[in-house]
């Protein structure tokens, strides 16, 4: 194989965020842009000569082009083999599983997750290490560092690889294996959950379900698992065909974006269970007839009931949540005497805890839950978890949630997002909060007395690494909390996220609307960060 060294110009903006490098497709299409970042990854890694790399994406616009470029660069940089999902498709959790199962050196996942796709929308690339999880911060920082002074990248010439037919192809000694993207993952799910029970519950009509694949990657996975293996009718999956532009929608599973599902779940003849997943298949939204389960509650309910699931029957070693996720799971952990960890936003922080077997389950308020079965959050896994719970407990989603609140109390929760704020204004707002927190503790605002205010700094209990500036937290004496942070996944300006939570022990108050119950906190949050004053915005773009 003849290796070519191509001269290139460094780009200053290749700093990976919460989950890989995300930019507009047009940015990725600039000369050498993708190549620079891929070379920065390869050049920052060591000892992969002859080893295997997994490659696939969520099928969005530019996926196939990027894959052909990466194949040649991987060959030129000395990898021995590539494992690629058929048609270039792999969901994020499936990629994680395949890296682990085939003992690959690592993997490249091409996705901008829940961000929209298409020629004028977003693309992304993320490197996962040999445990199947997102590269830790020390690696992503190394990639960025390298990209700042890159002057050339390595590639080679050979005919484009046929991505659509399963099988092995060679270019010289370089081996390319195209695999079915679903089979390994479906087998893994079968090993975790009680498939015979699920099948029986679906065929008997006890469970009727609706899954919205949002024209994204989980269509083929849901079809194989829910329809072919578990016998659900074909019509139970909507938007099942992955499209390069996700049909022009945001493949973001929440009540705002999965509106067709939301409408049906709150209609008179709603199915018993409804769910959706995101662009790359790692997020999940759980609903039941007339009820939406917040992701924070979902994590707590999973933790409280995990022993009903075959794979977790022996119990959990511990649980973890990202810092802005509600404290609902902490209450479960306290009752079951389980260790409970609080990590910064982003799945990469769970990897060490999972590898060290300190935790079995973990999750984020942003519609992400997962376990030690892979090293990514996993949308369909969460769906199957809930189906297994419903089938095992013989209870509706609403009953499961209400019973949980009765036992543990309810952490009324909401997140308000202000998208595309001008970056300097957003930074000034955070700076203002930083100054404010020093003087807040002890101050009373109506019934809310500030008990602490700080900027979250995380020390990893496994490797001792420290991650600073992970969000501003303000905690109140009555257990309520608000968190402010800027998104690390957006591609336009800055997105301010405000996370609000209030604990309600009194069961007679559990059925309140979250926005109403949180109204005082919402007003206080505005008072603290001055978003109206500073941006002129009167309300958030998205409320979840």
| Residues identified as active-site | 113
Cβ–Cβ < 8 Å for 180, 224: no
Q: In angstroms, what is the minimal distance from the CB of 495 to ligand VG1?
A: 6
Strand pairing report for 466-467 and 458-459 = antiparallel
Q: In angstroms, what is the minimal distance from the CB of 332 to ligand VG1?
A: 20
281 binds, among Co ion, ligand VG1, none (CB under 5 to 8 A by kind): none
Q: In angstroms, what is the minimal distance from the CB of 283 to Co ion?
A: 5
365 contacts Co ion (rule: CB under 5 A): no
289 binds, among ligand VG1, Co ion, none (CB under 5 to 8 A by kind): none
Cβ–Cβ < 8 Å for 344, 467: yes
Cβ–Cβ < 8 Å for 73, 38: yes
Q: In angstroms, what is the minimal distance from the CB of 94 to ligand VG1?
A: 14
Kindly give, in sequence order, each residue whose CB lies less than 8 Å from that of residue 439, ignoring residues fewer than 6 positions away.
none
Q: Which lies closer to ligand VG1 via its Cβ, residue 277 or residue 372?
A: 277
113 contacts Co ion (rule: CB under 5 A): yes
Q: Which lies closer to ligand VG1 via its Cβ, residue 283 or residue 331?
A: 283
Q: Which of 121, 252, 282, 417 binds Co ion (CB under 5 A)?
A: 282
Q: Which lies closer to Co ion via its Cβ, residue 57 or residue 540?
A: 57
Helices (H), 61-181: 63-76, 92-101, 137-148
Q: In angstroms, what is the minimal distance from the CB of 134 to ligand VG1?
A: 9
Short-list 431, 403, 410, 411, CA closest to 494: 431
Q: Which of 81, 278, 364, 411 binds Co ion (CB under 5 A)?
A: 278
Q: Which lies closer to Co ion via its Cβ, residue 66 or residue 517?
A: 66
35 binds, among ligand VG1, Co ion, none (CB under 5 to 8 A by kind): none
Kindly give, in sequence order, each residue whose CB lies less than 8 Å from that of residue 344, ignoring residues fewer than 6 positions away.
322, 323, 456, 458, 467, 470, 471
Helices (H), 346-468: 351-355, 379-393, 397-408, 423-437
Cβ–Cβ < 8 Å for 379, 270: no
Q: Which residue is at the shortest CB distance from Co ion? A: 113
Q: Which lies closer to ligand VG1 via its Cβ, residue 19 or residue 155?
A: 19
159-168 CB contacts, 8 Å cutoff, 24+ apart: 160/68, 161/67, 161/68, 161/71, 161/84, 163/64, 163/67, 163/84, 163/86, 163/87, 163/88, 164/86, 164/87, 165/86, 166/86
Torsion of CA 460, 463, 467, 473, to 10 degrees: 10
Q: How far apart are CA 99 and CA 259, in angstroms?
A: 34
The enclosing H or E element of 78 equals none
501 binds, among ligand VG1, Co ion, none (CB under 5 to 8 A by kind): none
The enclosing H or E element of 88 equals strand 81-89
86 binds, among Co ion, ligand VG1, none (CB under 5 to 8 A by kind): none
Q: How far apart are CA 297 and CA 365, in angstroms?
A: 9
487 binds, among ligand VG1, Co ion, none (CB under 5 to 8 A by kind): ligand VG1
252 contacts Co ion (rule: CB under 5 A): no
Cβ–Cβ < 8 Å for 174, 81: yes
Q: Which of 35, 58, 212, 280 binds Co ion (CB under 5 A)?
A: 280
Which spans of this chain sit near ligand VG1 (rule: CB under 6 A)?
Answer: 18-19, 113-114, 278, 282-283, 322, 345-347, 364, 366, 368, 487-489, 497
Cβ–Cβ < 8 Å for 37, 14: yes
Q: In angstroms, what is the minimal distance from the CB of 97 to Co ion?
A: 15
Q: Which lies closer to Co ion via its Cβ, residue 61 or residue 79?
A: 61
Q: In angstroms, what is the minimal distance from the CB of 234 to ligand VG1?
A: 27
Q: In angstroms, what is the minimal distance from the CB of 283 to ligand VG1?
A: 5
Structure tokens at 246: 């996700």
Q: Write out the binding residues for Co ion, residues 159-218 only, by CB under 5 A.
A: none
Binding residues for Co ion, rule CB under 5 A, total 5
Kindly give, in sequence order, each residue whose CB lies less than 8 Å from that of residue 161, ignoring residues fewer than 6 positions away.
67, 68, 71, 84, 169, 171, 176, 178
Q: What character string, x for contact with Co ion (CB under 5 A) and - otherwise, covers 50-79?
A: ------------------------------
Q: How far apart are CA 267 and CA 210, in angstroms?
A: 13
345 binds, among ligand VG1, Co ion, none (CB under 5 to 8 A by kind): ligand VG1
Q: Which lies closer to ligand VG1 via its Cβ, residue 251 or residue 271?
A: 251
Q: Which lies closer to ligand VG1 via its Cβ, residue 21 or residue 240?
A: 21
Which spans of this chain sit near Co ion (rule: CB under 5 A)? 113, 278, 280, 282-283
């Amino acid at each position: 194989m003849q290796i070519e060294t191509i001269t290139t110009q460094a780009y200053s903006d290749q700093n990976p965020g919460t989950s890989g490098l995300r930019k507009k497709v047009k940015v990725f299409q600039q000369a050498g842009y993708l190549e620079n970042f891929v070379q920065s990854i390869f050049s920052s890694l060591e000892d992969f000569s002859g080893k295997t790399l997994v490659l696939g994406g969520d099928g969005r616009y530019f996926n196939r082009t990027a894959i052909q470029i990466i194949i040649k660069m991987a060959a030129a940089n000395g990898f021995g083999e590539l494992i690629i999902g058929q048609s270039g498709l792999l969901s994020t959790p499936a990629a994680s599983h395949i890296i682990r199962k085939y003992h690959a050196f690592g993997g490249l996942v091409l996705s901008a997750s829940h961000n929209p796709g298409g020629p004028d929308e977003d693309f992304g690339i993320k490197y996962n290490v040999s445990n199947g999880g997102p590269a830790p911060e020390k690696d992503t920082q190394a990639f960025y560092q390298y990209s700042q002074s890159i002057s050339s990248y390595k590639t080679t010439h050979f005919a484009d690889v046929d991505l659509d037919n399963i099988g092995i192809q060679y270019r010289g000694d370089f081996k390319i294996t195209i695999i079915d993207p679903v089979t390994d993952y479906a087998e893994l799910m079968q090993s975790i959950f009680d498939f015979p029970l699920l099948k029986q519950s679906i065929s008997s009509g006890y469970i009727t379900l609706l899954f919205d694949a949002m024209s994204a990657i989980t269509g083929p996975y849901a079809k194989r698992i829910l329809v072919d293996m578990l016998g659900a009718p074909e019509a139970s999956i909507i938007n099942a065909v992955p499209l390069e532009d996700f049909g022009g929608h945001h493949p973001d599973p929440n009540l705002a974006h999965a509106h067709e599902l939301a409408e049906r779940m709150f209609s008179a003849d709603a199915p018993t269970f409804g769910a959706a997943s995101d662009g790359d298949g790692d997020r999940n939204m759980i609903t039941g007839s007339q009820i939406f389960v917040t992701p924070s509650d979902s994590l707590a309910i999973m933790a409280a009931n995990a022993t009903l699931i075959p794979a977790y029957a022996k119990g959990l070693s511990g649980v973890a949540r990202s810092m802005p996720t509600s404290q609902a799971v902490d209450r479960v952990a306290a009752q079951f005497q389980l260790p409970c960890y609080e990590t910064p936003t982003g799945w990469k922080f769970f990897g060490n805890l999972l590898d060290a077997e300190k935790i079995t389950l973990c999750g984020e308020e942003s519609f992400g839950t997962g376990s030690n079965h892979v090293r990514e959050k996993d949308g369909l896994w969460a769906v199957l978890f809930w189906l297994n719970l419903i089938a095992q407990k013989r209870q509706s989603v609403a009953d499961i949630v209400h019973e949980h609140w009765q036992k543990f109390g309810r952490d009324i929760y909401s997140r308000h997002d202000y998208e595309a704020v001008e970056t300097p204004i957003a930074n000034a707002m955070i700076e203002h909060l930083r100054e404010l927190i020093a003087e807040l503790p002890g101050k009373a605002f109506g019934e809310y007395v500030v008990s602490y205010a700080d900027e979250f700094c995380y020390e990893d209990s496994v490797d001792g690494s420290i991650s600073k500036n992970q969000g501003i937290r303000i905690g109140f004496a009555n257990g309520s909390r608000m968190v402010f942070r800027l998104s690390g996944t957006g591609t336009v300006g800055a997105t301010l996220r405000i996370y609000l939570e209030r604990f309600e022990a009194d069961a007679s108050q559990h059925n309140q609307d979250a926005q109403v119950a949180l109204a005082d906190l919402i007003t206080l949050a505005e008072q603290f960060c001055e978003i109206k004053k500073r941006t002129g915005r009167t309300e958030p773009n998205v409320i979840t």
